[in-house]
Amino acid sequence: MIRCILIAVVLLMGTPALAQPLIIAHRGASGERPEHTRAAYDLAIEQGADVIEPDLVLTRDGVFVDRHENEIGGTTDVERHPEFAARKTTKIIDGVQTTGWFTEDFTLAELKTLRAKERLPAFRPSSAAFDGQEPILTLDEVVAIARAASARTGRTIAVAPELKHPTYFAGIDLPMEDAFVAELERLDLTGADAPIIIQCFEVGPLERLAGRIKAPLAQLVAGAGGPADRPGLTYAEMITPEGLKTMAAYAAWVAPEMTLVLPRDAQGRTTATSSLVADAHAAGLKVVVWTLRAENAFLPAELRRGEGLADHGAMAAYAAAFAEAGVDALFSDFPGLARENLSNH
């Protein structure tokens, strides 16, 4: 019950004194099961995640499905389906040339014939052992997983959907925003107290959503570049004190790449904590960092253990360092480790 109360308070107002950061299961327990699957979400919830995250793209018939990208060659067995071989193509997505199979070229019924696979099999062979077992989920199905788990566990399990490439989809006559608002209204997830955090790297969609719904919005910020819909704006400008004040006019959260909070030097070692968390809190924004992973390849040099990039390092210390830096939430591919590690610090 106490944890449920804390989750509601953080979603609405920020982290209370001494509260642990929320743990957001990044695509589920995606370090241990193929991402964006029921198995990944169920495991994450079992491990104590407060929030589960679906990435949202659209099908040809306008249904929101849960995939890391609209290109699905790396996360499904589509290449093993000869009936879809002719749909392999090359497209420009947010300025990047990408070859593969794309959700917008499939109906939901067709996508439901595919099965998920591990995106990083070289790093996560134990997860790859579950390849071929799970279908692609819709937004509706992910929300149903969260709600069923909330009823089963007595904990509030929130969802954190990310709108992927909305400007691109609008450009191919699959605009996201109206359809997304309609889905949220149907699912009763538009209120200020709804158990949801809506994310996007683009600015315009969040600004427009802020005028239509009261649910919390999170502006994603990468360590380089800028939002695809604002060519003259950089993420670096967005996280200055002035930029954060502007952001706070439409968003409740800023979601920076983790190295923007705990920077690294040329040798990959963590340096002094940046002022981003303090600046964001001063602007009235909560902070959620992405993405904590246990493998050495994704950890700062001083926390790597063993010889291989796939070996697991000291994620415990990394999670604790972000908690000490004052972040309000953490995205992690290993929610069980993150929850256990924070509980031990």
Contact by Cβ (8 Å): 319, 334: no
What are the tens digits of pLDDT across the range 227-242? 999 999 999 999 999 9
Region of residue 36 (phi > 0: left; psi between -120 and 50: alpha; otherwise: beta): left
- Looking at every residue in the chain, the average pLDDT score rounds to 94
Residues serving a catalytic function are 26, 68
What are the tens digits of pLDDT across the range 36-93? 999 999 999 999 999 999 999 999 999 999 999 999 999 999 999 999 999 999 999 9
Instruction: Tell whether the model's pLDDT for residue 340 goes beyond 60.
Output: yes
Nearest to 339 by CA among 323, 324, 262: 323
Query: Rounded mean pLDDT of 136-144?
Result: 98
Instruction: Tell whether the model's pLDDT for residue 9 goes beyond 50.
Output: no
What are the tens digits of pLDDT across the range 271-320? 999 999 999 999 999 999 999 999 999 999 999 999 999 999 999 899 99
Under the banding of pLDDT at 50, 70 and 90, the label for residue 10 is low
Amino acid identity for residue 274 in this structure = S
Q: Is the preceding omega at residue 291 within 30 degrees of 0, hence cis?
A: yes
Which DSSP category does 341 fall into?
H
State the pLDDT at residue 342: 73
With residues binned 3-state (H G I as helix, E B as strand, rest as coil), the percentages for the chain, rounded to 5, are 35, 20, 45
Structure tokens at 20: 């642990």
Supply φ then ψ for residue 196, to 5 degrees.
Answer: -155, 145
Under the banding of pLDDT at 50, 70 and 90, the label for residue 122 is very high
Contact by Cβ (8 Å): 164, 194: no
State the pLDDT at residue 344: 60
Contact by Cβ (8 Å): 329, 19: no
Nearest to 293 by CA among 336, 234, 230, 229: 336
Structure tokens at 117: 């696979």
State the pLDDT at residue 316: 87
Q: Give the C-alpha separation, 266 to 251, whole Å.
A: 33
State the pLDDT at residue 2: 38
**Which helix (H) or strand (E) segment is 169 a member of?**
helix 166-171
Which DSSP category does 249 fall into?
T
Contact by Cβ (8 Å): 334, 315: yes
Nearest to 67 by CA among 102, 99, 95: 102
| Range in 15-19, 25-29, 40-44, 223-227 the model is least confident about | 15-19
Nearest to 90 by CA among 81, 101, 79: 101
